[in-house]
Amino acid sequence: MRKPSTRQKQRNGVFYTPELLARALATPLINRGTRSVFDPSCGDGRLLHAAYRASRSRQGFRSAISFSGCDRALPHTKRTLGTAKLVRSDFIDYRPSTLFDVILMNPPFVRHHRLSRAQRAKCQAETASLLKVKQTSDLWAYFVLKAARHLRNGGSIGAILPWSFLSADYAKPLRIWLAERFSEIRVKVLSGSHFDDTKERVIIVWLKGYGTPASKISLEYSDDIHATGSKIPISSKDWAADTVVAGTQGQNIQKFLKRNIFSAGFTHLENHAKIRIGVVTGANEFFVLSRSAARRIAVQSDWRSPILSSAREFHALHFNGYRPPSLLIHFPKDPQKESIKSYLASGKRKKLHLRTHSQPRKPWFRLRREACPNAFFPYRVTDTPFMALNDSGLQSTNSIHRLYFKNLTTNQAKWLQVALLAAPSQLFFEARGRIYGNGILKLEPGILKRAPVLVSSKPLSIKAYRKIESLIIAGKRQAAVAAASQLIYKTAGIQPRIQATIDRMLLDLKLRRSGRGFRS
């Protein structure tokens, strides 16, 4: 039989758990009282096997445990587990006849847009009586929810989950739901990749004591699957936040910033700028064209606006003279040129006129002209985000935020740039942004607007500003953050002790996100 490709594996979520990880997941949940273990997406049964081995290694352990599992595509080679009962079934349809003591799972991480409409509807229907989960939920979320239904009172779940459990918007209600039903929640965030065939970074979640609201929630970060990192207690408020981030250096980051930064004269970014997401066309593949594609259909020059479409286009503190490779096309109401007519007809054949954003437009292809923003800020980044000024009349697609200043002088706008690059803002972004398993940091407008900034009326040293910009251009973003921080700390009179704590916290959080290793 041919081995499945990585694409096929992603579609079906087939990434088997390496033995060490399986053992780390199962061992803490198997005890003398365990009578039954179930895996809803058991693959070749390796999590059940790890549970079996954990039960055997416990001294004086005699109880007979029943092991069972289901999988939509049971492989031919299965681990031998004596009497284990493995059934071929979609877990969402599966109705086991008993409740279980322990449910172990590494559910399929299939992304919501890869689920068929029918599959999503089935998942929604099956879990609606427990919790109304968002349509944008990935498959694993339905698995976690449905698993709880098959648990006896006092039972436990051990799950290998993606990082989005801690930061996706659809995961927040699920986290709250779990905290209302499990007395102890422990999460271990693993750095690095632990699978042979995917780089997706994962977390281990142990949920204990089903039927009782949580009295203990903890998070730990570790490089090593087996090492017990220091468990950081998480309050139920922090657990219910958009992103769950454990404090660092013994500090709650939010409180620390409030006490030491906002009290020193910093204000929220929204006081100085209105933040809007980039232009929403509803069909960027049709309205945002490369220069050559625009030439091909003979788009007139006054119909085009240069548009930024990727955070990779941020190279300097200004877009002065920058010529983006993409153009936003404002088609006229009644085009005469044949090339344009046939292009619009091709859009209609693709049913673009029926899309949600097209329908209110008259005609469907006529985009509203919007005011050019004063500056841009990336939505998703892997590295240090910063604000770049728009001196070239650019627009941006919805992968880049647009900032419209509220009466800022040129000098104040530069202070704003420096402040957003400085360590307090960067720390805020790392703590409040959504972090994904591939190390991407996503900054929603609602988060960006709360960033701490210092907008001074003092003249900003041109030399210092140029130095920061040259570091950005040279790709030395850490050094640029250090230079910006120095300027901001001095102006706000931040104590060296506070500066040092901020720098250490920022480094910790950046290391956690990058997966290059955690510091305890």
Residues that bind ligand SAM (CB under 6 A): 12-17, 39, 41-43, 46-47, 70-73, 90-92, 106, 108
Q: How far is the CB of 51 from ligand SAM (least distance, A)?
A: 11
Q: How far is the CB of 197 from ligand SAM (least distance, A)?
A: 10
Find where tokens 């500003």 sit: 465
Q: How far is the CB of 187 from ligand SAM (least distance, A)?
A: 18
Task: Report the residue number, 86 or 264, with the smaller CB distance to ligand SAM.
Answer: 86
Distance CA(96)–CA(404), nearest Å, equals 56
Q: How far is the CB of 316 from ligand SAM (least distance, A)?
A: 43
Task: Report the residue number, 103 or 451, with the smaller CB distance to ligand SAM.
Answer: 103
Q: Is 411 exposed, middle or buried (0-12, 13-18, 19+ CB in 10 A)?
A: middle
Q: Is 38 exposed, middle or buried (0-12, 13-18, 19+ CB in 10 A)?
A: buried
Q: How far is the CB of 18 from ligand SAM (least distance, A)?
A: 8
Write 59-68 long-range contacts (CB < 8 A, 24+). 61/32, 63/32, 63/33, 63/34, 63/35, 64/35, 65/30, 65/34, 65/35, 65/36, 65/37, 66/35, 66/36, 66/37, 67/36, 67/37, 67/38, 68/36, 68/37, 68/38, 68/39, 68/96, 68/100
Task: Report the residue number, 43 or 247, with the smaller CB distance to ligand SAM.
Answer: 43
Q: How far is the CB of 81 from ligand SAM (least distance, A)?
A: 13
Q: How far is the CB of 41 from ligand SAM (least distance, A)?
A: 3
Task: Report the residue number, 21 or 472, with the smaller CB distance to ligand SAM.
Answer: 21
Distance CA(328)–CA(335), nearest Å, equals 16
Q: How far is the CB of 88 from ligand SAM (least distance, A)?
A: 9
Task: Report the residue number, 42 or 178, with the smaller CB distance to ligand SAM.
Answer: 42
3-state secondary structure 370-406: CCCCCEEEECEECCCCCCEECCCCCEEECCEEEEEEC
Task: Report the residue number, 15 or 436, with the smaller CB distance to ligand SAM.
Answer: 15
Q: How far is the CB of 195 from ligand SAM (least distance, A)?
A: 9
**Closest residue to ligand SAM, based on beta-carbon distance:** 43
Task: Report the residue number, 86 or 273, with the smaller CB distance to ligand SAM.
Answer: 86
Q: How far is the CB of 4 from ligand SAM (least distance, A)?
A: 10
317-355 as b/e: b if 16+ CB within 10 A: bebeebebebbbbbbeeebeeeebeebbeebeeeebbeb
Cα dist. 46→130, 192, 457 in Å?
29, 22, 63
3-class DSSP assignment, residue 232:
strand
Task: Report the residue number, 139 or 394, with the smaller CB distance to ligand SAM.
Answer: 139
CB within 8 Å of 314: residues ≥ 6 apart: 376, 378, 386, 388
Cα dist. 497→494, 500, 501 in Å?
8, 5, 6
3-class DSSP assignment, residue 36:
strand
